[in-house]
Amino acid sequence: MDFYQFAKSVVFTVLKPIYRMEVIGVENFPKEGGILLCSNHIDNLDPPVVGICAPRPVNFMAKEELFHVPILKGILPKLHAFPVKRGLSDRQALRMAINILKEGQVVGLFPEGHRNKTGKLGKGFSGAGFFALRGNANVVPCAVIGPYKPFHKVKVIFGEAIDIEPFRERKAKPEEVTEAIMAHIQLLLDEYHPDNKK
C-alpha cells in the first residue's frame, strides 16, 4: 500500500463516523481514462472528503502557499497534490493538469475557485472548461452536501460522466463547457439536497 492509499484509509476511518458520510453514484465513475472531477466547494474539508470518496486516486490543485509550509511541502506531493497560484491563471499548473489528464489520470477541481459559504452554487472559472477541452478527458460532476457538523450527514454524489467530445467537435469555448459542468453539479444539488425533499 502506497502513502496515498494509506492516508486515504486513515482519513476515511476518521471522518466517516464523524460526518456520517454517504457516498452516492460511485458506479458513475469511469474505471479508466482521463477524468476531470468537478465539485462544488462548501468547506476546507472538501478536498480530502471528495478524494477519499472517489474510487480512483485524485490529483488536486492546492494553493501554492501550502507548499511552503514545512510539514505540508513534503506530504502534499505524496497525496497527488500540485501547486497552483490563485485565480487559475498559472500556466505551469495548467500544463501539469492537462498532462495528468492526457496520461489517463483524475484531476480534481473546484470550478468556483473558493469556498462558497452561502450554500448556493457560484459561477465557475473558465479554467474548468479549458481543462475538459484540452485534456482529452470526460468530466464527472460531483456535489458535496453538508453541513460539516459532527454527526450530521455529509453526502458526496458523483453524477454521470459528461461527454465533452461534442463540445470539442464544434469548437465550443471554455466558458460554455464550464457552464454545462456547473449545470450538472446544480442538478445533483437540486436532486439530493434534503431541503428539496417534500
Q: 101-156 pLDDT, tens per residue?
A: 999 999 999 999 888 877 789 899 888 999 999 988 899 999 999 889 998 999 99
Question: Domain spanning 17-196 has what CATH number?
Answer: 3.40.1130.10
Q: Check residue 198 and give its pLDDT.
A: 40
Indicate whether this model's pTM tops 0.75: yes
- As separate numbers, helices (DSSP H) first and strands (DSSP E) second, the chain gives 7, 7
Domain ranges of the chain: 17-196
The pairing of strands 22-24 and 35-39 is unpaired
Q: C-alpha grid cell for residue 62?
A: 492546492
Distances (CA, A) of 140 to 20, 31, 149: 23, 12, 26
The proportion of the chain whose per-residue pLDDT surpasses 90, expressed as a percent, equals 56
17-54 pLDDT per residue, tens:
999 999 999 999 999 999 999 999 999 899 999 999 99
Per-residue pLDDT at 89 exceeds 70: no
Q: Check residue 86 and give its pLDDT.
A: 64
Q: Check residue 143 and give its pLDDT.
A: 97
Q: Where are the alpha helices (DSSP H) in 20-160?
A: 46-53, 72-75, 91-102, 127-134
Q: What confidence category does residue 12 fall into, taking pLDDT thresholds of 50, 70 and 90?
A: confident
On average, the pLDDT of the chain sits at: 89
Q: If you average pLDDT over each of 40-44, 68-72, 85-89, which comes out highest?
A: 40-44
Q: What confidence category does residue 87 fall into, taking pLDDT thresholds of 50, 70 and 90?
A: low
Q: What is d(CA 198, CA 98) in angstroms, rounded to the nearest whole number?
A: 42
Q: What is the mean pLDDT of residues 179-196?
A: 89
Q: What is the mean pLDDT of residues 153-175?
A: 94
Q: What is the mean pLDDT of residues 151-163?
A: 94
Q: C-alpha grid cell for residue 23?
A: 457516498
